[in-house]
Structure 1
Amino acid sequence: MAATTLNVDGVMLFEQPFARVPYENYRKVFRTSQKNIEKELGAIQTAASELARKARSGAANPEDALRSIDAMMKRAEGLKKKLNDLQTNSGAPTLQVIRERLQHLAAVEDIESVRSPEFARWADTRLDRWLIDWTLRHGREKTARRIAAQKGIGTLVDIELFSDIRRIEDALSRHSCTEALAWCSENKAALRKVKNPLEFELRLQEFIELTRARKLMDAITYQKKYLIQWQESQAVQINQASALLAYTPISAFGPYKRLYDLSRWQTLIQSFRVAIYNLSTLPTEPLLHLAMYAGLASLKLPACYNQETTNIDCPICDPDLGKLATEVPFSHHVNSTIVCRITGKIMDSDNFPMAFPEHGTVYSREALEDMASRNEGQVTCPRTKETCHFADLRKVYIS
Structure 2
Amino acid sequence: MNTYNPSGLLAIEQSFLRVPHEQLKKSYRQSQKHLEKDLGAISHAMDDLCQRATTKTMDSETAQPALDSMLKRLEDLKRKLQDTKTDEEEFIRRSKLRAQHLNALYEISSYESPEYQSWSRTRLCRFLVDYMLRKGYHESAAQLAKTEQIEAFTDLELFQQSAQIEKSLAAQSCAECLQWCSDNKVALRKIKSSLEFDLRLQEFIELARRGQTQSAIAYVRKHLVPWIDTHAKQVEQAMGLLAFNPKTSCEPYKRLFNPERWQSLVQHFREANYALHALPEPAPLHLTLQTGLSAFKTHQCNHQADTNINCPVCQKETLGKLAQTLPFSHHVNSTLVCRVTGEIMNEDNPPMRLPNGRVYSLKALQELASEHKGKVVCPMTSQEFSMADAKKMYIL
1:25 match: 23
C-alpha separation in 1, matches of 2:244 and 2:360: 73
Structure 1 match to 2:214: 217
CA contact (8 A) 1:139 1:166 kept: yes
* Aligned AA (2:331): H
What is the CA distance between 1:373 and its match in structure 2? 7.5
Query: 1:1-399 maps to which residues of 2 (within 5 A)?
Result: 3-46=1-44, 59=55, 76-88=74-86, 90-251=87-248, 253-319=250-316, 320-355=318-353, 361-368=358-365, 385-389=384-388, 393-396=391-394, 398-399=395-396
Query: Any idea what SS the aligned residue of 1:363 has?
Result: strand
CA separation in 1, counterparts of 2:76 and 2:368? Answer: 83
The number of residue pairs the alignment matches comes to 391
Q: CA deviation at 1:6?
A: 2.7
- Bigger CA drift: 93-102 or 243-252? 243-252
Note if contact 2:375-2:384 (Cα within 8 Å) is conserved in structure 1.
no
Distance 2:108 2:56 in 1: 71
Distance 2:179 2:50 in 1: 40
Out of 273-282 and 299-308, give the one that drifted further.
299-308
The worse-fitting range, judged by mean Cα deviation, of 260-269 and 368-377 is 368-377
Taking the aligned partners of 1:4 and 1:336, their CA distance within structure 2 comes to 17
SS in 1 for 2:247: coil
The structure-2 alpha-carbon separation of the partners of 1:300 and 1:63, relative to structure 1 and needing over 3 Å to count, comes to same
Shift of 1:74: 5.8
* Deviation readout 1:99-153 (Å, 9 max, x if unpaired): 2222221222211211111111111111111111222222211211221222221
Residue pair 1:4, 1:115 contacting (<8 A) in 2 also:
no
C-alpha distance in 1, partners of 2:304/2:79?
70
Residue 214 of structure 1 and its aligned partner are, at CA, apart by 1.1
**Residues 301 and 307 in structure 2, CA contact (< 8 A), matched pair in contact too:** yes
CA displacement, residues 299-353 of structure 1 (integer Å, 9 cap, x when unaligned): 0122223244322211122242222222322222122111123321112344343
Q: Alpha carbons of 1:16 and 1:60: their partners in 2 closer, same or farther (altered >3 Å)? A: farther
Change beyond 3 A, Cα 1:286–1:46: same
Aligned equivalents of 1:296, 1:386: Cα separation in 2: 35
> Which range moved further: 359-368 or 215-224?
359-368
| 1:360 Cα deviation after fit | 5.9
**Alignment-mate amino acid for residue 25 of structure 2:** R
Deviation at residue 375 of structure 1 after TM alignment: 8.4
Maintained 8 Å contact 1:36/1:79: yes
Unaligned runs of 5+ in 1: none
CA RMSD between the two structures: 3.0
SS of structure 1 residue aligned to 2:237: helix
Measure how far apart 1:178 and its partner are: 0.6
* 1:393 to 1:244, Cα distance in 2 relative to 1, 3 A: closer
Judging changes above 3 Å, is the alpha-carbon distance between structure 1 residues 128 and 62 closer, same or farther for their aligned structure 2 residues? same
Question: Conserved in 2, the CA contact under 8 Å of 1:201 and 1:268?
Answer: yes
What is the alpha-carbon distance in structure 1 between the residues aligned to residue 82 and residue 319 of structure 2?
A: 51
Q: Shift of residue 376 of structure 1?
A: 9.3
| TM-score, length-scaled by structure 1 | 0.87
* Cα distance in structure 2, aligned partners of 1:250 and 1:265: 17
Q: Distance in 2 between matches of 1:169 and 1:51?
A: 46
